[in-house]
């Protein structure tokens, strides 16, 4: 994925039970704190309840998020959650699911750490902000905006670029 510095983006984490039944999971995600910051985590639909002990540590570059279900174990691939990051510096940032992450079924560890994923994010310079063009409005029929005129027909023109405009009259 490629983003611009200052841009926000989402990264989704999926649980793949591979034939097992899963009732609890904890994702520990490592990221370079000098390049990325976590803004929030939204739990997905694979495991519906938030576990205690969750944290976002933007100084250390780590997110720890746990979840579980009481509605019955999960045995199909599903969305664990979505992390919203903000890109704060340019370069290539590696985001990794740590081998300290856990997937549990009835108290037994079921994770296959060789299948843990990662993502590389290329962060480019932000595009320079477009200069705002100044819009100047003038009127030949009413040249002094502070003067009162008996003529109620107004002729106005503008210079500069306008994508749209609105008009309003006061007294």
Q: What average pLDDT is seen over the chain?
A: 89
Contact between 36 and 8 under an 8 Å Cβ cutoff? The reply is: no
In this model, does residue 29 exceed pLDDT 80? yes
CA 165 to chain centre: 32
**Tokens standing for 148?**
């009162």
Instruction: Please compute the mean of the pLDDT values over residues 141-146 and round it to a whole number.
Output: 80
In this model, does residue 141 exceed pLDDT 90? no
**Tokens standing for 132?**
């705002």
Backbone angles phi, psi at 112, to 5 degrees: -110, 100
Give the Cα separation of 142 and 50 in Å (integer): 66
In this model, does residue 62 exceed pLDDT 90? yes
Which carries the bigger pLDDT value, residue 151 or residue 164? Answer: 151
Instruction: Please compute the mean of the pLDDT values over residues 33-45 and round it to a whole number.
Output: 96
């Amino acid at each position: 994925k490629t983003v611009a510095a200052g841009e926000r983006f989402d990264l989704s984490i999926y649980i793949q039970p591979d034939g097992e039944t899963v009732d609890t999971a904890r994702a520990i995600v490592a990221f370079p704190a000098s390049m990325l910051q976590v803004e929030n985590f939204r739990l997905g639909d694979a495991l519906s309840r938030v576990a205690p002990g969750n944290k976002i540590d933007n100084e250390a570059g780590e997110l720890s998020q746990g979840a579980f279900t009481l509605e019955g174990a999960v045995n199909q691939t599903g969305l664990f959650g979505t992390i919203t990051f903000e890109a704060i510096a340019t370069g290539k940032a590696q985001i990794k699911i740590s081998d300290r992450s856990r997937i549990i079924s009835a108290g037994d560890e079921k994770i296959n750490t060789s299948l843990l994923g990662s993502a590389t994010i290329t962060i480019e310079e932000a595009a320079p902000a477009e200069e705002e063009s100044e819009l100047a409005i003038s009127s030949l029929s009413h040249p002094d905006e502070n003067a009162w005129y008996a003529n109620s027909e107004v002729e106005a023109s503008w210079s500069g670029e306008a994508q749209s405009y609105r008009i309003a009259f006061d007294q």
